[in-house]
Amino acid sequence: MSSVFLSFLCCLLLSGVAWTEDVIPRKSDMTSPVGFNATEKHILLATINAWRGRVTPPAADMNTLVWDEELATMAQAQADTCSFDYGFPDWADDVNITKTLPERNVGQTIWRGWNVSFATNYWNGEGEWYDYCNNRCTYDRKALKALGFYRSSKVYYYRGCFNYTQLIWGDSQYVGCGHRVCDWRNKHYDPGKDSLVCNYFPGKIEVESESTRMKRLPYKTREPLDVACARGAPSGRAATNLIVFAMLLFVCSVYGRILP
């Protein structure tokens, strides 16, 4: 896909919407598709916070995340490995931010796919299989394949609810993300090899046993838990035109500046 076509597509999708010049970043001379510029960081952060703000049942203690460069540097180091797996660099234990709460770990969400603008949508999409009221993930890849979803995104992109529960972890305060296109040849983009890693602090606390399962809910509900769940609370995934619009801005920015 050429940058000319991408620019046309973005203009078509965003036509009729007013924006200022500082919203859409100008195309740079960047030759390696790595990391994010200031505008892209802002859009990504706003999109993550938008998903967090629309969980169901509604949250009473959902922090608004703040961008942290230490977490972003760690995330970039992991994205640069192109392993498409969870992990941290060897020096992760030396970062200052974790010393503020030494008893807590750094959380992480990862993405491999066609382009990073879809990542948060899929992280939120894992909520389709998350049962908040029982704090369980019902995702079953084999069952989905048996139902005919063998080549569907349901089995290709999703691997459970791990990303979703971190995305909506209420007491996380900071996030930082890194990005690399892992098959970048002769300044041409090979789709399907985007790596996006986001680190969160404090990270989510894993359920260690059945006895602690209901003590490790991602966030506290506004209503008492039994009242919120008696309403038949749906899964936490949610979408709004605002979030979709932000994703469009994001893809226009990232790929508009790296495609030749």
At 241-258, the pLDDT tens digits run 444 544 545 555 554 544
Run means of pLDDT, 10 residues per run, the chain, 260 residues: 42 33 28 74 95 94 96 95 90 92 95 79 89 87 63 62 94 96 61 84 88 88 91 54 48 48
* Per-residue pLDDT at 240: 46
Residue recorded with tokens 């706003």: 46
Residue 87 structure tokens: 């992990």
Rounded to 10 degrees, what is the CA torsion of 222, 227, 232, 234?
20
109 bridge partner residues:
198
CB 203 within 8 A of CB 106: yes
Residues 6+ apart with CB under 8 A from 209: none
* Per-residue pLDDT at 29: 27
Q: Nearest-CA neighbor of 96 among 131, 129, 69? A: 69
CB 160 within 8 A of CB 126: yes
Condensed to tens digits (0 to 9), the pLDDT of residues 56-104 reads 999 999 999 999 999 999 999 999 998 888 999 999 988 999 999 999 9
* CA 82 – CA 85 distance, rounded (Å): 8
* CA 19 – CA 139 distance, rounded (Å): 40
Phi and psi dihedrals of 89, rounded to 5? -70, 165
CB 174 within 8 A of CB 71: yes
